[in-house]
Amino acid sequence: MFVRVKSTPNSPRQSVQIVASERIGDKVKQRFVRYVGVDMNDEELVKMKELAEFVKAGLEAESTPRQFRPDESARMAIDGRNKAELSSDQPLNVDLKQLREESRVVVGIHEIFGKLFDELGFDRVLGNPASKRKSVIDLERDFGVKLDLNAVY
Q: What is the pLDDT of residues 92-106, one digit of tens each?
A: 678 888 888 888 776
**Predicted confidence band of residue 13 (pLDDT cuts 50, 70, 90):** confident
Mean pLDDT computed over every residue of the chain: 83
Residue 10 has pLDDT above 80, yes or no: yes
**DSSP state for residue 128 in the 8-state scheme:** S
**Predicted confidence band of residue 18 (pLDDT cuts 50, 70, 90):** very high
Sort residue 101 into left (φ over 0), alpha (ψ -120 to 50) or beta: beta
Residue 67 has pLDDT above 80, yes or no: no
Average pLDDT over residues 72-78: 83
**The pLDDT of residue 137:** 92
Average pLDDT over residues 34-60: 87
According to DSSP, the β-strands at 14-24 and 27-39 are antiparallel
Say if residues 15 and 38 touch (Cβ distance below 8 Å).
yes
**The pLDDT of residue 112:** 77
Q: What is the pLDDT of residues 110-148, one digit of tens each?
A: 777 888 888 888 877 776 677 899 989 988 998 898 999
Domain ranges, ordered by start, for the chain: 2-87
Determine what percent of the chain falls in helix, strand and coil, rounding each to the nearest 5.
50, 20, 30
Average pLDDT over residues 73-87: 77
* pTM of the model as a whole: 0.47
